[in-house]
Amino acid sequence: MTGLTFTDHPADPAEYLPPAPRAEQPGPLVLIIRPTGAAELLVLPTRDREQLAVLNDIVGGHLETIGDGSWLAFVNEDGARLEQAHNLTADALARALGWHFHHGSVLLGPAVFACRRGVDIGDVPQRVIDLASAAGLVLS
């Protein structure tokens, strides 16, 4: 006998239940820059398929990735054929981060900045956010 009495038990029967599973970690934080110059931060879903669907929806089609891995930008690979607008703000940010475009190239359509974490998409690096802020982008 342990010496416990009935009054030693929790008053709420729910306290007998095991703890609920820990909530999923949030997905990666990305920076979206639209051709209008509007910028916003967005948390992507945690699952790869859902991330891909959201990214495809934002850029308006199939993804093309630029960057060196420490930073990435996702754009529409068919931006020229779809006649997407020039994204001069995202273009300037990518160039400031060290991206070397072909002569005459410019980013088209919305651009989504992030980084690579192994084979996964990671949070947009703080230096990308800092450069965007220094360039006058208002992040919502």
What's the domain count of the chain? Answer: 1
- Give the pLDDT mean for 54-77: 95
Cα(65)–Cα(76) distance, integer angstroms: 9
- Give a yes or no: residue 78 inside a domain: yes
Do the domain assignments include residue 120? yes
Question: What is the reported pTM?
Answer: 0.81
- The pLDDT of 38-57, averaged and rounded, is 95
Domain range enclosing 81: 25-134
- Rounded distance, CA 43 to CA 50, Å? 12
The answer to the question of residue 85 being in a domain is yes
CA dist 135 and 104 (Å) reads 22
Residue 18 lies in a domain: no
- The model's pLDDT over 80-122, given as tens digits with 9 standing for 90+, comes to 999 999 999 999 999 999 998 776 789 999 999 999 998 899 9
Is position 16 within any domain? Answer: no
